[in-house]
Amino acid sequence: MSRLLVSVCDVEEARIALECDADIIDLKNPAAGALGALPPETLREIVNVVAGRKPVSATIGDLPMIPEQLAAAARVTAETGVDIVKIGFFGHAGHETCIAALQALATDGIRLVAVLFADQRPDLKSATRFAHAGFYGVMLDTAAKNGQGLRHYLSDAALGAFVAESQTHGLLAGLAGSLTIADLDALLPLQADYLGFRGALCANASRTARLERARLLRLQNALRVRAEISEVVTD
């Protein structure tokens, strides 16, 4: 069963995610873009609140494909104590030099996750490059937050192939991008390591609104029901 990644933007939301037993607590600023970054002091504060009870990931911001800039931002983010640093690979130009620049951080033990964007026609077979550079994982998301979800841009078959290719190379594979409860029946059989949610858990289904406990509990219940059904079927 895929684990649940919940994106939060402050301590209060992180506490809700903890209390609702999210598997991964993801730190980002939704008002600052697809992978908007929170200030380092906010990251440290949330890391201290989580206190190792769950893995914590954090984004470095919607940055251009400039190797030195990405590497510097990733290192600063890692130094806040988060477990995973997520880096957006926007567009198509400059990816190779950026991967090379980030390899040193992976060698130092920093867990890096490359984020590709389904609405930018990414190379879905790029797992080899990230694996060779020592990345911890890869994920698919959407860059444009316009109400169109991940499955609007890529077929379920393409998503499944991405997950399988990534896992074959030893990478953690994640799927996100305006996902809703209605997507679960199609996405869970793909066996991604985690599914990422934000907008569906917020007031008015707006990713820049506040995360709501009731919506998160509803999602957790939907996941639990599907897990129980899966166990009955496999038995």
Q: What amino acid positions are annotated as catalytic residues?
A: 28, 86
Rounded Cα distance between 59 and 46, Å, is: 14
Alpha carbons within 13 angstroms on the beta-carbon side of residue 231 total 7
What is the DSSP secondary structure assignment for residue 202, as one 8-state letter? Answer: B
Residue with tokens 């994982």: 137
- C-alpha span between 204 and 226 (Å, rounded): 25
**194 CB contacts (<8 Å, ≥6 apart)?**
2, 3, 4, 5, 23, 24, 172, 174, 175
User: Which residues in 78-216 belong to E strands, given as ranges?
Assistant: 84-88, 112-117, 137-141, 172-175, 194-197
Sequence-separated (6 or more) residues with CB below 8 Å from residue 42: 10, 11, 27
